[in-house]
Chains A and B, each alone.
Chain A
């Protein structure tokens, strides 16, 4: 069966997760992706976890995961020869996605006007922490800074603990989000190109992507002149984690009927009918009274039994899973979510697959492991660009590739 993006040719440059995730999304739907690494390798290769905690550039869990289904080449974009090769690759490609920030682009030949001369149909997406215009365009930003600048980190903490700092979420999450935003915009530009033949340049700001993800928090200022804080009470209750016999469970009652069924499951205790718990807002206001009563009840349960019992009554309650819980999930197994891949250096592991593997016409698929550093140099420089063995050897000698 055809893949949704089969035949689409994508070049990816940059480091860490943003461009890599954008290109992974395209690769998993069948696009041919060439990942361009600088000769010393993507910095993601320094990030683990690693087997036994021993850093190894071919065994980085982050790199292995983000770069399935791609071809990998090395190319020094800071050398003029490297930039000339990039131009030739651009002539081959439909899409270039990168996440070098604005101050680092010119030195690598990443100029849309110049690249469009090599390929006027090129769709190029530039992902950066703060975008390409505005007073902070040249600011440096790692994931933690972008999370701070977009207003997300301020919100992450724990009720009742104002002494603790804002907290970063696990992993380079702002990069994943900027990456998928770029992938969505790229497909829009490709639709336009199919109609008009016209390529274009897209810029994506990580700070802006994060700012669109603040839930009901952003409008609190324009609507009520209020500033929610990470250590304050939730606006509705219950909305919390509770310790059970063998782990933790989470429950949220958004609708009143969900609370009513939770009360039913708890055996209809008398306190559940107290006036102070009569709706979701009051339960939040009186949460210091409610929490101990719920704690006592949750403590009697085993997590999995409670999960089943609560969901049988359509109460939104979940185990707080760790990786082991996910890997053991019967549901994910039946959906064949995890995919086993054999990497020549790192070995065989199960990887998260594609979350929309239900594409009825064009199934998505994680099928090839991440490339080792420069694994496809021969195939790309010799095959796609048609360079001779001597030329490739000379490029290698001059450390261009």
Chain B
């Protein structure tokens, strides 16, 4: 019996024809739920996440890539060169013994390989298949090339997000439509599996990652229709709360920072949703008289005098360490947290106390810290059972144990570059 993940999808098998971030993110969510997620890979079509930084100790190699290892935990990797018909037949045999297929290639790609839904349902009539292309499988733009950052521009995020007064469109800091598309793809798989459980019927889902990104901006669309313009860029301000923003803190001391950081680049987020929270902030700042100041006494007044309000708050934060200030503010009942960088996330005492991170042995890079499963389930606890695979780590398992090929068959397929 093979080892596999734990969780409510334990015993389910998913075939991943995925690339880049969105598809692999969806596959990892399903693996986190306990599914055996098998990723089809090949050296002649390496995932971009195996080819860009960071690499362990900076040594460039597809099995040392941190990006790949972050988003393929708990999955299996099998090498198949889909340019060869024999490889396509093997994928079909694997699909015939699986529950779901996810793919995030441009529209038409899996069909060209002969792995479209119409073909796959012939070998597995109740398969749940989710295509998660950039623009969906229908419509005039269906063949356009898409990446997460491209969808930041196309969805409206780039014009809605931004510092006040800047005209320049903004990236949102990461390729947000990718993990968002991944979540929506995983949700579609789960809904399909639930429906299958209830009715015995499989189905095909056409997910548009572009539309999944617009689904996060419904208020802005309605706002445009109501008023003829979309909401203005607020920077870090909130339509209702004040103060609400990032405030600069005291500079870091010498030797406190990793290379490349600026000592004065330290920030705390503070938000007051009620008068009580504002009064608590005044006490912590040592300015109790401000709580009675009519310029700031009510939410409406604080919004009306927000420039001055922010100046006063920052005057205080500039003297504060962001972590210590967070502790004092939270004790007093004020929502605050430092703007953590990746190192600080990795070292966050709360996340570590929750055992959020995974540290599994990887055959090439050893034990590395990765982000873990962002939920806890009381009856079906989930756990990452192993690190991300090296390329083709599960060739043997898939070809011999699952598909029943002989060592001679496997050698022959390698020689013919079907297994590549």
Contact = CB atoms under 8 A, between A and B. Distances in A.
B365 A25 contact: no
B179 A177 contact: yes
A274 interface: no
Interface string A118-159: 000000000000111111110111101111111111111110
Interface string A206-231: 01110111111111111111111111
Given A64-B222, A219-B70, A327-B224, A226 B159 contact: no
A311 B144 contact: yes
B74 interface: no
Contacts of A152: 173-174
A319 B154 contact: yes
Interface size bracket, B side: 35 or more
Given A157-B173, A214-B345, A327-B221, A168 B149 contact: no
B340 A154 contact: yes
B52 A235 contact: yes
A140 B281 CA distance: 13
B158 to A, nearest CB: 5
Contacts of B215: 352, 354-355
A51 B174 CA distance: 32
A315 interface: yes
Interface stretch (B230-238, B289-297, B398-406, B408-416): B230-238
Interface string B210-240: 0110111111111111110011010110111
A153 B269 contact: yes
Contacts of A271: none
B153 A321 contact: yes
Given A192-B379, A316-B150, A356 B341 contact: no
B1 interface: no
A185 B191 contact: no
Given A131-B376, A144-B238, A321 B154 contact: yes
Interface centre among A198, A318, A322, A360 (most CB of B within 10 A): A318
A350 B221 contact: yes
Nearest to B264: A162
Contacts of A309: none
A49 interface: yes
Contact of A52 (B136, B227, B247): B227
B393 interface: no
B56 interface: yes
B348 interface: yes
A355 B151 CA distance: 14
Given A144-B236, A222-B370, A332 B211 contact: yes
B159 to A, nearest CB: 5
Interface in A213-265: 213-232, 235-236, 239, 241, 248-250, 252, 254-255, 258
A345 interface: no
B371 A156 contact: no
A173 B220 CA distance: 13
B309 interface: no
B29 interface: yes
Contacts of A230: 173
A170 B160 contact: yes
Contacts of A185: 33, 375, 377
Contacts of B246: 144, 148, 153, 165-167
Contacts of B208: 335, 337, 355-356
Nearest to B228: A324
A144 B234 CA distance: 13
A181 to B, nearest CB: 6
Nearest to A165: B246
B156 A323 contact: yes
Contacts of A4: 191-192, 194-195
A61 B226 contact: yes
Nearest to B299: A46
B187 A332 contact: no
B205 interface: yes
A315 B145 contact: yes
A131 B225 contact: no
Nearest to B347: A221
Given A227-B342, A351-B218, A318 B153 contact: yes
Contacts of B226: 49-52, 59, 61, 349
Contacts of B119: none
B400 to A, nearest CB: 30
Given A59-B226, A148-B268, A226-B258, 15 more contacts: A49-B227, A151-B342, A177-B179, A180-B180, A181-B375, A185-B375, A203-B375, A208-B373, A226-B259, A239-B149, A320-B169, A322-B156, A326-B221, A331-B139, A355-B209
27 contacts: A29-B191, A49-B227, A139-B330, A144-B245, A145-B336, A148-B269, A152-B174, A158-B170, A165-B248, A180-B187, A187-B190, A200-B378, A202-B377, A203-B376, A213-B174, A223-B55, A227-B260, A231-B265, A241-B153, A321-B159, A324-B230, A327-B221, A331-B142, A334-B138, A349-B226, A355-B184, A360-B206
